[in-house]
Amino acid sequence: MRDTSYAAVLSRKNEVMKASLGIDYDTYVSSPVAFDYERMMAETGYSLDDIARIQAETKVGNTPLYELTRLTEAVRSTAAPGKGARILVKDEAANASGSFKARRASISAYEAKKRGYEGVIAATSGNYGAGVASQAAMRDLKCIILQEVFDSRGVGQPEIVEKSRACEAYGAEVQRLSVGPELFFILLKTLEETGFFNASLYTPFGIRGVETLGVEIARQVRERYRRDPDAVVVTHAGGGNLTGTARGLLAEGCTGTRVVACSVDLAGLHMASDRDFNRKSFTTGHTGFGVPFATWPDRVDVPRNAARSLRYMDEYQLVSQGEVFYVTELMTKLEGLERGPAGNTSLTAAVTLARQMERDQVVVVQETEYTGAGKHHNRQLSFARENGIEVRVGDPAENVPGKTIVLPASLEMVRGRVQDMDKLRRSYLKNAAKLYPAEKWSDADVAFLAADVKKDAAWVRRAAEDLA
Residues 280 and 391 both lie in one domain: yes
Residue 467 pLDDT: 82
Q: Which of 203, 232, 253 is the last residue of a domain?
A: 203
Residues 355 and 438 both lie in one domain: no
CATH number for 159: 3.40.50.1100
Q: Which of 183, 203, 223 is the last residue of a domain?
A: 203
Which residues have C-beta within 8 Å of that of residue 73, sequence separation ≥ 6? none
Residue 231 pLDDT: 98
Written as one string, the DSSP assignment of 227-248 is S--SEEEEE-SSSHHHHHHHHH
Residues 381 and 258 both lie in one domain: yes
Q: Which of 149, 171, 203 is the last residue of a domain?
A: 203
Residue 381 pLDDT: 94
Residue 237 pLDDT: 93
- Scored b (16 or more CB within 10 A) or e, 249-262 reads bbebebeebbbbbb
Which residues have C-beta within 8 Å of that of residue 4, sequence separation ≥ 6? 189
Residues 80 and 29 both lie in one domain: no
Mean pLDDT by 10 residues, the chain (468 residues): 89 89 93 97 96 98 98 97 98 97 97 97 90 98 95 90 94 92 90 96 96 98 98 96 98 98 93 86 89 94 94 97 96 96 93 97 97 91 94 96 96 95 97 95 97 98 89
Residue 1 domain flag: no
Residue 424 domain flag: no
Residue 59 pLDDT: 98
Residue 1 pLDDT: 78
Domain count, the chain: 3
Residues 183 and 256 both lie in one domain: no
Residue 271 pLDDT: 78
State the residue range of the domain holding 159.
6-53+99-203
Residue 116 domain flag: yes
Residue 276 domain flag: yes
Residues 166 and 295 both lie in one domain: no
Residues 141 and 280 both lie in one domain: no
Residues 140 and 223 both lie in one domain: no
Global pTM reads 0.96
Sheet of strand 197-198: strand arrangement: 173-178, 142-150, 119-123, 197-198
Residues 258 and 180 both lie in one domain: no
Residue 425 domain flag: no
Residue 282 pLDDT: 84
Residue type, 61: G
Residues 194 and 86 both lie in one domain: no
Residues 154 and 213 both lie in one domain: no
Residue 379 domain flag: yes
CA dihedral 407, 410, 412, 414 (to 10 degrees): 20
Beta bridge partners of 83: 358
Residues 413 and 456 both lie in one domain: no
Residue 423 domain flag: no
Residue 362 pLDDT: 98
